[in-house]
Amino acid sequence: MTEAAPERTMALGREGEVLPADGPPGECRIVLYRRGAPPREVAGLGDVQGALDTDPEALAWIALTEPDRGQMEEVGRRFDLPRLAVEDTIVAHQRPKVEAYGDILFMVLRPAVYDEAEERLRVGEVHLFVTPRLVITLRHGAGLDFQEIRARMEEHGHPGGQGALGVVHAVLDRVVDDYAPVVAGLQEDIDEVENQVFNEEKGVSRRIYRLTREVIVLQRAVDPLGEVLAGLLDHRDRSQGRRRSELHEHLRDVADHVTVVRERVDGFRDLLQNIMSVESSLVDQAQNDVMRKVSSWGGILVVPTLISSLYGMNIAPGPGYHWLFTWPLTLAAMALLSLLLYVLFKRQGWL
C-alpha cells in the first residue's frame, strides 16, 4: 500500500491539529450479532472471519477509535477492503461521501460537537466499510461514541435482524441528531454577537469572523449529506429490487432532518454576513462622528485664531489700534462668532 504523506496523515483532533500517524494503537471492539442470540464480543480480528464462515446468519461490527496506520493496513488485508478507500481512512480529512466498490460500501461522515465551556465547534470524522455481513466503523477526533450507538440499537431491536445497513442508519441518524445541539449553540452565540454589535462592544469583529468560520466548517460537513443519502437510497433500491422497507423510510426521515439542518446553517451564514455589514456600518458611522466633531471644533477655533493673528503681525499699528474699545470689541467678536459656529454645528448634529 502506498504510504501517505506524513503532513497529511491521520485525522482531525482539535481544529487545525493533525494527529500523529505513528503512535499507540486505538481502541478496537468487535461484536458478533445473530438473530435470536445475545451479542458476543470477539477478542481479535482473526476470529471474525471464522465466526462469519461458521455462522451464515451472523453480523460482525468492528468499531475502531483513533486507529493508527498499522491497524488500518491490517484490517484492509484481512477483509480485502478497497486499497484507495483504506488510504482515505489513513489520510483522513475527507469530505462526506459514499462510494461503492462492488459489494463493499465506503462512507465518510463528519460528526460535530459544540463545546459549551469554550463556545467552540469541534468536527471529527467517521469512516464506514459496509458489506452484507460486516460493518467496520472508524472514528477520528471529536464525535460519536460507538458503544452508545450499539447500546441504543440493542434496546430498540437486535442489530443482527436489521442487517449491515441498519447499523449504517443508526450511525448516520446519530450524526444528524448530534447536529441539533450544535445548531442551538451556534444560534445562541449569534444572538449574543448581534447584541454586542448594537451595544457597540469592542472586539466583536473577531468573534463574528470566528463564528463565520465555524458555520462554514459545519456547512461543509452537512451539505454533502444529501448526496450521501441519495447514494444510500439508490444502493438500497438496487439491492432490494425497488422494494420499499422500514429502513428505506428511516433513511428518508434522516434526509428530512438533514434538510432542516442545512436550511438553519445556510440561514446562519446569511445572518452573520448581515451582522458583519451592520457592524462595519456602525464602525464607519462612529469614525464619521469623530471626524465631524474634530472638524467642528477646528472650525470654531479657527475664527479667534485668524482674528488674533492679525494683531500679532510684525507691522506698524494701524488707525484705531490704540482706541479704548478696540480690544473689548475684538474679544467680543471672537466670542460671538465662535458661539454662532457652535450653535450652527450643534443644530446640524455634528457636536
So what's the pLDDT on residue 338? 78
Task: Return the pLDDT at 285.
Answer: 66
**How sure is the predictor about 5, in pLDDT bands with cuts at 50, 70 and 90?**
very low
User: Where does the pLDDT of residue 287 fall: very low under 50, low under 70, confident under 90, or very high at 90 and above?
Assistant: low
The pLDDT-based confidence of 157 (bands split at 50, 70, 90) is: low
CA distance readout (Å), 67 to 10, 73, 111: 9, 10, 17
pLDDT for the residue numbered 20? 43
Contacts of 343 (CB under 8 A, 6+ apart): none
- The grid coordinates of residue 349 equal 448634529
Please give the pLDDT value at position 145.
80
Mean local confidence (pLDDT), 312-319: 60
Quick one: which of 12, 172, 178 has its CA closest to 89? 12
Residue 151 has pLDDT above 70, yes or no: yes
Sketch out the chain's domains with CATH numbers.
1-158 (3.30.460.20), 292-347 (1.20.58)
Residue 243: is its pLDDT beyond 80?
Answer: no
Query: Which of 223, 213, 225 is closest to 186 using CA atoms?
Result: 213
Minimum mean pLDDT range among 196-200, 242-246, 333-337: 242-246
Tell how many helices (H) and how many strands (E) occur in the chain.
11, 9
Tell me the pLDDT tens digit for each residue of 38-81. Answer: 788 887 787 887 788 788 888 889 888 888 888 888 889 988 89
- Model pLDDT for residues 256-273, shown as the tens digit of each residue: 899 999 999 999 988 988
Phi first, then psi: what are they for 218, rounded to 5°?
-65, -40
| Mean pLDDT to the nearest integer, 80-90 | 89
The C-alpha cell at 46 is 482473526
**Residue 1: predicted pLDDT:** 39
